[in-house]
Amino acid sequence: MDLSNRTVLIVGGTSGIGRELARRFVAAGSTVAVGGRSPQALSELAEEGFGTISIDVTDSASVASARDAALARYPDLDTVVTMSGVMLLEDLRDPAHFEAAETTIDTNLLGTIRVIDAFTPHLVQRGAGTFITVTSGIAFLPFPPMPTYAASKAAVHAYSEALRAQLDGTGVDVVELVPPAVATAGQEKVNPHALPLDDFATEVMDLLGTEPTPREILVDRVRVHRWAERDGAYDELVAQRSQALAMLPSRQGQR
């Protein structure tokens, strides 16, 4: 993918991975708008020179008006990144987890679908463009403290595969970004060994820039998770990751 002259909207670009990739796309020569809910983050990014779009991916009306605003300002929009996501811990022994499960599915899965639906007619009509969906190593190797998160990302993986097949022949590509644990505000609390954001972004931009762009963007660190089942490491790694259940507040001091 040529990264030097794209017009990119990163939905979920107000912090973390999305914000860093927004900066990297600009550094590579592309025009970038970022979307999200936080008015403060949006106004800081506007001061930095980004186009900004207010959007809540859990609200179809908000997604539609964000789409209209984005296309009015960027009629040549060719790349849409569905980065918005929440990463919530859940204790499945406590029925109160259901609220987190609903938020997770509404944001990570339905939010992705809402954004893709909103921009598909534009990209198909252009006859060229790219959706970049965002899953996780956890889509392929569950992390037991975040069960609905794992389910939502496995679902986005499956959805991305089907979307790619359905858009075949339209000129619209689907690229799935599969991050490992990356040291953003959300992850640092959960995993002190997370990959530094800078290193992750550098590797992602290198992989995105290859010709032809891979269907899945897999940095080195995530390959062990992506291929755990194929490589026979799945059961052992899930058992290892289950030790992290001790981090659930309700399990502190229990076995």
Residues that bind ligand NAP in the complex, under the rule CB under 6 A:
12-18, 36-38, 41, 55-58, 83-87, 107, 111, 134, 136, 179, 181-182, 184-187, 194
Which of residues 103 and 170 has its CB atom nearest to ligand NAP in the complex? 103
Region at 74 (left for phi over 0; alpha for psi -120 to 50; beta for the rest): beta
Which of residues 129 and 180 has its CB atom nearest to ligand NAP in the complex? 180
Token representation of residue 2: 């040529």
Give the nearest residue (CB) to ligand NAP. Answer: 16
Residue 211: CB atoms within 10 Å: 6
In the complex, least distance from residue 151 CB atom to ligand NAP, rounded to whole angstroms: 12
Which of residues 38 and 125 has its CB atom nearest to ligand NAP in the complex? 38
Token representation of residue 220: 């080195």
Let me know how many helices (H) and strands (E) the chain has, helices first: 10, 7
CB of 140 within 8 A of CB of 226?
A: yes
In the complex, least distance from residue 56 CB atom to ligand NAP, rounded to whole angstroms: 4
According to DSSP, the residues that pair with 52 across neighbouring strands are: 34
Which of residues 51 and 179 has its CB atom nearest to ligand NAP in the complex? 179
In the complex, least distance from residue 155 CB atom to ligand NAP, rounded to whole angstroms: 12
Tally of CA atoms within 13 A in the half-sphere of 104 that contains its CB: 21
In the complex, least distance from residue 40 CB atom to ligand NAP, rounded to whole angstroms: 9
